[in-house]
Amino acid sequence: MYASPITLNRSWLEQFWRLAWPISLQAVLLSLLGLVDVLMVATLGDAEVAAVGYAGRAFFVAIVILNGFSTACAILSAQHWGTKNWTAIGRTVALSFYAGLIFTLATLAFMLFSPSTIMQWGSSDAHLVAIGSDYIRATALMILFTLPVIVFESALRASGNTKLPLYISVFAVIANIALNQVLIFGFGSIPAMGIVGAGVATVIARLLQLVVLWASLWWQKHPLLKVCLIGFWQFKQAELIKYAKLAVPLVINFSIWSSGVFVFATLYGQLGTNALAAMSLISPIEGIAISCFMGFSSACSIMVGNKLGANQFKQAWTDARLALLVSPIAAIGIGVAIWLLSYPLLNLFGALESETLQLAQQLVLVLAASTWLRIFNMVLINGILRSGGDNSFCLMSDTFCQWGVGLMLTSIAIFVFDVSLITAFCIALSEEVFKAMLCFWRMNQKKWLRNLTTEPLAETN
């Protein structure tokens, strides 16, 4: 079935690139913002960098879980767009918002009232816990504004509009950097707030992003705004069940995976403040590398999802294989670029301790060498398997590979064999190796080739 050879052609590459580059650029800008945050905070000391980096992982967990709701929205919206059904897209956005709001409010309450609990998981340093708690409390409201932004953006991208979210993100990033400068270091009568200022700047910038997004849709008289306003009051039981069956495994999957990332950060924190600070330094660099290809994954999901929604299964299979061929090859080039730029980039953090910088330089080399494998898995899972609703398998593979392989081996290495940070970081990559083998096998089973908008969403195992 669909076993014909594939060939790259210009029209396919142009369509793929047209969808991919705005999403990738938007993600890169957000990662650059993280790098600028670390650069600014680095002038305050190693403890501040470690605190912001570890607290940032907590926010990462929350945002990734919210992405579970928006990913379900994107998958269904992409397939509804295959038949240009704006009304169904509006109801899907509304369902995603209501479902995500419950988690958002619970997370917001926990971060506002128990931030020290989060910080104590990663460090016993009282100073680090105190300043990290202040940062979490100052940044917590950002979660509330993030939910509607990512849900609306997912629907826009699913309908092929990837540029509007990009332009608004550019505005938000510029605003955030400017606010960072003012609130972290002070300006005129505004006092210096340190890392708390970084948190407040993030909240204000995300609120501005939401306001500008809605204003832009209203000014353009975009159909998404109208159908969403109607969709908030109109639900179909069949769509609710279909959304729930798709979203629940995604949210569980994203929760388990992002929690695993947080546990990795906690394990590295056991190796000392310098190790935690070094990981905080390379996190935005890692984010930039991965962000370069988020657009590839999303473009693959959009193209494959549109074909599945139109029952063009042979073309969906071809698009999937082409995306999986192009992405890791391009990622090798990004890995080389990271390696070449790592030394001048890390020299910008000269105010930090030499031990922290040496650790970071070693970690960047491993990161550069493994980027292609991470991208391969991202396109394979998010771009291909999930586009056809194969979320149960993705949940199983993510859980087994991360918790049963990566975290288990890394924990043994740190607590039993007392390995160095660089060795622990290399061992953690075992997760990616096992995941690639499992998911590539699953892709070739072709069980994900199905139209979710016209058939019952049966679980695939």
Q: Is residue 248 part of a domain?
A: yes
Indicate the pTM of the whole model: 0.78
Cβ distance 90 to 73 under 8 Å?
Answer: no
Q: Is residue 452 part of a domain?
A: no
- 346: number of Cβ within 10 Å: 20
Q: Is residue 286 part of a domain?
A: yes
Q: Is residue 454 part of a domain?
A: no
Cβ distance 74 to 301 under 8 Å?
Answer: yes
Q: Is residue 103 part of a domain?
A: yes
Task: Quote the domain boundaries for residue 266.
Answer: 10-445
Cα separation, 147 vs 337, whole angstroms:
33
Walking along the chain (461 residues) 10 residues at a time, the average pLDDT comes out as 65 89 83 78 84 87 90 83 76 87 94 92 86 94 93 84 86 91 90 92 94 91 75 72 85 89 90 86 84 88 88 91 91 90 79 84 92 94 90 90 96 94 95 96 93 58 37
Q: Is residue 460 part of a domain?
A: no
User: Which tens digit of pLDDT belongs to each residue from 194-246?
Assistant: 999 999 999 999 999 999 999 998 998 887 777 777 666 776 777 778 888 88
Cα separation, 36 vs 180, whole angstroms:
9
User: 148 vs 104, 252, 287, 289, CA distance in Å?
Assistant: 11, 20, 23, 26
Q: Is residue 451 part of a domain?
A: no
User: 186 vs 182, 206, 224, CA distance in Å?
Assistant: 5, 20, 40
User: Which tens digit of pLDDT belongs to each residue from 342-363?
Assistant: 888 787 776 678 888 889 999 9
Q: Is residue 5 part of a domain?
A: no
Cβ distance 371 to 331 under 8 Å?
Answer: yes
User: E strand or H helix at 14, and its extent?
Assistant: helix 10-42
Cα separation, 168 vs 166, whole angstroms:
5
Cβ distance 158 to 81 under 8 Å?
Answer: yes
Give the per-residue pLDDT at 6.
66
Cα separation, 378 vs 364, whole angstroms:
20
Domain count, the chain: 1
Place of tokens 């109607």: 230
The 8-class DSSP code of residue 220 comes to T
